[in-house]
Amino acid sequence: METSRRVLLKGGLVAAGVTFLPGMTGPPLDLRPTAAAVTPFDNPFSLGVASGDPSPDGFVLWTRLAQLPLDDDGLGGMGQTVREVEWQVATDPVFRRVVRRGRTRTGPAQGHAIHLEPSGLQPDRDHWYRFRLGRHLSPVGHTRTAPRPDSAPAALAVAYASCAQWEHGWFTAYRRMAEDEPDLVLHLGDYLYEYDPGFEPPASGTVRHHQGPETVTLADYRRRHAQYKTDEDLQLLHATAPWVAVFDDHEVSDNWADESPGTTTRRDGFGERRAAALRAYWENMPLRRSAFPQGPDMRANRRFQWGGLATFHMLDTRQYRDRQACGDGMGTCDETWEPDRSILGTSQEAWVDEGLRTSTATWDVLGQQVPFGRLELSPVEIGRLSMDTWDGYPSCRDRVLDSMAQAANPVVLTGDVHDSFATEVWRDHEDPASVAVPEIICTSVSSNGDGEDTPDGSFRYARTNPQVKFWNELRGYVNLTFTPDRLGVDYRNLPYVHEPGAPVFTRASFAVEAGSPLLHETGAHPLAGS
């Protein structure tokens, strides 16, 4: 029997509402209906399954019960009943070798979500998992434990993405990511959008509609998360590999900063809205119990290792930042240059510095949300900068660059801007010899619609941004391959998102050699006919 993740991609594993595969000899789940069972024609696992935050001896397992995902109360048709759910973890996809199993309870207080943290597992191993409620079985998910900290992995395959707007396009990029079979998936924010239906449609047209108005209450955010989770391509990627996810602004409100609501017109009661949004985010993502929000505060920044090969420092650039300078405009003012301004907050800056200073990994990866390096937004005018990005916090950026100088091979991963960029961060924007770190910026999954395949050398701001080595406006994601000697970067793009099923191609490839911050282009692959 085929045992790779390709079985899952072909739909050959156990799906919700069906029984075991023939020949399964592992400890069976009792499939007889129980008092906790829901009606036979309703699927409580309509939102799929997920795993995340892998460690050498475990990971997080997630599901959320929902018969009617879009019910107005945000409880997915599960009501006020507390239910008991069974779960299994195995080292084979047909559950002959079950290594962990148990029961857990969930109810309306948790939005009927389940977060499990099985531990004591073998490091650097594939695992499969599933849930059962009454007569219903969940889809089977695949995950893996991280290698031991003192191990020396030969390679690590990472796929990462950001910015998926339900109305702007289909989530085909997620399916293509799953087909690439990464070891690990990173999501760098804007997992969903809070907007009213029909808000700012893209040129390629609205392909489907948000359910309900702009999200404000806990029920609103729960329902919006549920709507996104009904997407089959997103469900497939969640079930294919462990995720490590951090939020940006749209999980709460556009351009929010600490206690400031950002650009929304709903400015009253932002503390309650932020608390509701972060609570729903935790409930709907494979996050550890230690990240459970305390009111409007949630510990999102965290660090994890992949043996001695890579350490990932996942940042939070929303909760602790100073408010955007200059009225959050495009251009600097005196406030921009104030030395104490921070996009991370004092405590998180110290956490970053300590992590980079003490790291022994070959690669130190900062996974974060908004562009880190300087990015001029005019073809001729110097100083036209976004105050929502690190350009609005240059003193903080300098301090983090000082911290990066203590690490062997720092790399910055970024989302947010809906375009692909390969860029080098210069300490001095006028000195090409001052390269400090490579920054890889991924495009959106669907936000802004189809995009355009931009010919090489056509970057409209090239004159003011000599540090940018590649730019493209198509949708897609980025694949990264870490080895002890180099980092390989593939920009994976789709020609369209206004219809489902688009093919994917590698638009450009770059490499970073260990010991050097420079980006080297290793391949350019224009879209046919462009």
**In a shared domain, residues 429 and 489:** yes
**362's tokens:** 């070959």
Q: How many CB atoms lie within 10 A of CB 495?
A: 19
Contact assessment for residue 52 and residue 244, using Cβ atoms and an 8 Å cutoff: yes
Residue 150 lies in a domain: no
Residue 512 lies in a domain: yes
Residue ranges making up the domain that contains 496: 156-524
Q: Please report the DSSP string for 291-345 in residue order.
A: G--BTTB----EEEEETTTEEEEE--SSSSPPPPGGGT-BS--GGGG-TT--SS-
User: Count of residues for the chain?
Assistant: 530
Residue 33 lies in a domain: yes
**CATH number for the domain harbouring residue 364:** 3.60.21.70
Residue 334 lies in a domain: yes
**In a shared domain, residues 186 and 92:** no
Find the largest Cα–Cα distance for the chain: 71
pLDDT of residue 454: 85
**In a shared domain, residues 305 and 341:** yes
Residue 358 lies in a domain: yes
Looking at the 3D structure of the chain, how many domains does it have?
2
**CATH number for the domain harbouring residue 16:** 2.60.40.380
**In a shared domain, residues 423 and 502:** yes
**In a shared domain, residues 12 and 126:** yes
Q: Residue 86: which residues within 8 A CB-CB, separation 6 or more?
A: 29, 101, 102, 103, 131, 132, 133
Question: Which residues pair with residue 64 across a beta bridge?
Answer: 113
- Which segments within 150-211 are labelled E, that is strand? 156-161, 184-187
DSSP β-ladder status, 410-414 and 435-441: parallel
- Domain-terminating residue out of 116, 144, 172: 144
**In a shared domain, residues 164 and 92:** no
Contact assessment for residue 399 and residue 356, using Cβ atoms and an 8 Å cutoff: no
- Block means of pLDDT (10 residues each) for the chain, 530 residues, are 55 38 35 39 91 99 98 97 98 98 98 99 99 97 98 99 99 99 99 97 97 97 99 99 99 96 83 98 98 98 98 99 95 96 99 98 99 92 93 98 98 98 95 97 98 82 92 98 99 98 97 98 71
**In a shared domain, residues 102 and 170:** no
Look at residues 441, 493, 492, 447 and name the one whose alpha carbon lies nearest to residue 465.
441
**In a shared domain, residues 136 and 166:** no
Q: How far, in Å, are 303, 412, 439 from residue 354 at the CA level?
A: 11, 17, 21
- Domain-terminating residue out of 84, 109, 144: 144
pLDDT of residue 342: 99
In this structure, which amino acid lies at residue 505?
A: F
- Domain-terminating residue out of 94, 116, 144: 144
Contact assessment for residue 220 and residue 74, using Cβ atoms and an 8 Å cutoff: yes
pLDDT of residue 378: 86
Contact assessment for residue 260 and residue 253, using Cβ atoms and an 8 Å cutoff: no
Look at residues 373, 367, 390 and name the one whose alpha carbon lies nearest to residue 311.
367
pLDDT of residue 288: 98
**In a shared domain, residues 186 and 318:** yes
**In a shared domain, residues 127 and 248:** no
Residue 149 lies in a domain: no
| Whole-prediction pTM | 0.93
Contact assessment for residue 494 and residue 506, using Cβ atoms and an 8 Å cutoff: no
Could you say which DSSP state residue 294 is in? B
pLDDT of residue 4: 55
Residue 509 lies in a domain: yes
**In a shared domain, residues 351 and 375:** yes
Q: Please report the DSSP string for 212-246 in residue order.
A: SSS--SHHHHHHHHHHHHT-HHHHHHHHHS-EEE-
**In a shared domain, residues 117 and 201:** no
In this structure, which amino acid lies at residue 219?
A: A
Look at residues 418, 404, 421 and name the one whose alpha carbon lies nearest to residue 517.
404
Look at residues 344, 275, 358, 264 and name the one whose alpha carbon lies nearest to residue 311.
358
pLDDT of residue 227: 98
- Using DSSP's 3-state secondary structure scheme, residue 35 falls into coil
Residue 296 lies in a domain: yes
Report the alpha-carbon distance of residue 421 to residue 530 in Å, rounded.
19
